[in-house]
Structure 1
């Protein structure tokens, strides 16, 4: 009889624990889910369905107030598009931050407009100096090529064969002259670009200098 009483007591305890658990679940499930079906009508449920996940849903409390909204699930194409937009925004933000760092460095390097203009003018002068040096070198190499060609021409006019070594020297000299001409063209283009960009750079410098001064005055 004592064993029976223990078994009955144990059973009653288990039943009580189960009832308590059910009671807690009921209390904790006071929130419900609400979403709109294909016709636009609101649907309420104690559990989520695939339609709710596709449509997006609200979590509402026992008083019908929205606690949180959950957007609908995106399909593969939408996720890819959203990821692309997020990556683009991140890239734009990185570029904006880099511009801010560059502007800060510019202001630190050039405390006033005169120093900025002097530095940019020096850049153009450096390009011009490099082009001038290349131009002088090119003139000397062109003269050397002309001398080699004249030697070969003299041999041909005298009905003598042009030696292979002379042909090799002429080919190498032509390559040298061609390389110097390409270098000079790049240097001149760089100088022209630097000179043309000075006005835009000066305008930008004035803008960031003015913004910095205004921010410092606040």
Structure 2
């Protein structure tokens, strides 16, 4: 009987809701109103004790904003996952940035051949239509009507010329997209590679491990100093490499791939890290025994030393440079 009485007392316990109305006055009500939900309220038991404090309800605008934030967070996470997959593919497909350059050049060469073939065909068609138009003019000068077959040939040839011009524009757009896609992948690959090299470099400095060849690490501590080094890096790569400067971005500079064993490529990569920025210079020789010998003979170290001297700061500036040899 006692147990039943206690159960009934708990079951019949009544709660009240206290909130501040639009006039700034507290109200105590038995049922929640839209105004109380919007303002936020306290749950009070029949003894006047606070049971729970509920935050103000969200407005429609806040609810919509929250939905958009959730959508944006999902979009960013999806993009991040896609980038991770693409990063893994890049590192699996290519061993170096030079391989990407050569793959790009091969793809572009195939497209250029198609464009050149179309231009040659269009040139032949133009010569043909000039001949057809000359024959039509001969008929007109002699006072004779131009034969229908001649008119049809002229019309058909004009259509073929227009069709090739249209195709060349489409192919040129395709070429630009191929170059842009490869260049984007190349920059990303170089960023990933540089991040890995910097981590290895930091470990090597700690463990006194043997360092790789043809590479130098520079660090700068303020943006103006980093920008100055980056500007000098562009000029250095342009003037000292065998080929042309192919990639120019805020994080990567890269010249064209070596075409033979006597040529070399230069790359710079820029990687912010905590309070300093790493700038990594690499000299790349052809991927053959003779190419490797060119770098071993000191050409790579000569260029590394030359650039290091070019950007050596004044005595009151802070810059670290660590060659790998």
Give the TM-score taking structure 1 as reference length. Answer: 0.69
In structure 2, distance between residues paired with 1:186 and 1:123: 16
Partner residue, 2:57: 72
Moved more, 54-63 or 205-214: 54-63
Partner residue, 2:167: 183
| Residue correspondences, number | 199
Query: Gaps (5+ residues) in structure 1?
Result: 1-12
CA RMSD for the aligned pairs? Answer: 3.7
Bigger fraction of residues in helix: 1
Q: Which has the larger radius of gyration?
A: 1
Q: Which has the higher contact order (CA 8 A, sep 6+)?
A: 1
What's the CA shift for 1:25?
2.1
In structure 1, distance between residues paired with 2:44 and 2:105: 68
Which one of 186, 195, 216 corresponds to residue 202 of structure 1? 186
In structure 2, distance between residues paired with 1:46 and 1:212: 65
Question: Is residue 161 of structure 1 aligned with residue 163 of structure 2?
Answer: no
161 and 46 in structure 1: CA distance in 2 versus 1, 3 angstrom threshold: same
Partner residue, 2:80: 96
Q: Is the 8 Å Cα contact of residues 127 and 191 (structure 1) preserved in structure 2?
A: yes
Moved more, 204-213 or 116-125: 204-213
Q: Is the 8 Å Cα contact of residues 55 and 73 (structure 1) preserved in structure 2?
A: no
70 and 168 in structure 1: CA distance in 2 versus 1, 3 angstrom threshold: farther
Partner residue, 1:50: 34
Bigger fraction of residues in strand: 2
Give the TM-score taking structure 2 as reference length. Answer: 0.49
Q: Is the 8 Å Cα contact of residues 57 and 72 (structure 1) preserved in structure 2?
A: no
177 and 38 in structure 1: CA distance in 2 versus 1, 3 angstrom threshold: same
Question: Is residue 132 of structure 1 aligned with residue 116 of structure 2?
Answer: yes
Query: Gaps (5+ residues) in structure 2?
Result: 204-325
In structure 2, distance between residues paired with 1:138 and 1:159: 32
In structure 1, distance between residues paired with 2:72 and 2:63: 14
Q: Is the 8 Å Cα contact of residues 17 and 41 (structure 2) preserved in structure 1?
A: yes
Partner residue, 1:150: 134
